[in-house]
Amino acid sequence: MSSRVLRCAGCARRIRGAQPYIGLIDYQSGKEITYHAHPKCQKRGAEEMASLIEKGRLYVLRHYHSSRCRDEAPGFDCSGGCFSGAPEAVAN
């Protein structure tokens, strides 16, 4: 059984299960680009996403909590500490 190793498109480092991250999914192709939830990676991700997004295509922005998240109902600003605020990509 093999598992896919996720890499951050912002810093090229591995995204581990204990780290929260953000994914931009192209709905038609199913391709997902992932970024760490760290503000520097989010900023770089927002810039890259702006250049990738095409008019007329559908994209899904997802945030994935850490495997250690203790929040009962996780969302942005979760009590588990995964996200301290909405991703910068959404704010821009």
Q: What backbone torsions phi and psi does residue 3 show, to the nearest 5 degrees? A: -120, 145
List beta partners, residue 32.
25
Is 29 a domain residue?
A: yes
Q: Is residue 78 part of a domain?
A: yes
- Look at the chain and report how many structural domains it folds into: 1
Does residue 60 contact residue 25 with C-beta atoms inside 8 Å?
yes
Q: pLDDT tens-digit profile of 49-82?
A: 777 777 777 888 888 888 777 777 655 556 666 7
Task: Tell me the mean pLDDT in the region 37-58.
Answer: 80
pLDDT over threshold 80, residue 32: yes
Residue 1 lies in a domain: no
B/e letters for 56-71, b = 16+ CB within 10 Å, e = fewer, are eeeeeeebbbbeebee
Domain assignment present for 52 = yes
Q: Model pTM? A: 0.69
pLDDT band of residue 88 (cuts 50, 70, 90) is very low
Secondary structure (H, E, C), 24-70: EEECCCCCEEEEECCHHHHHHHHHHHHHHCCCCCCEEEEEECCCCCC
Report the percentage of the chain scoring pLDDT > 70. Answer: 74
Domain residues for 80? 6-91
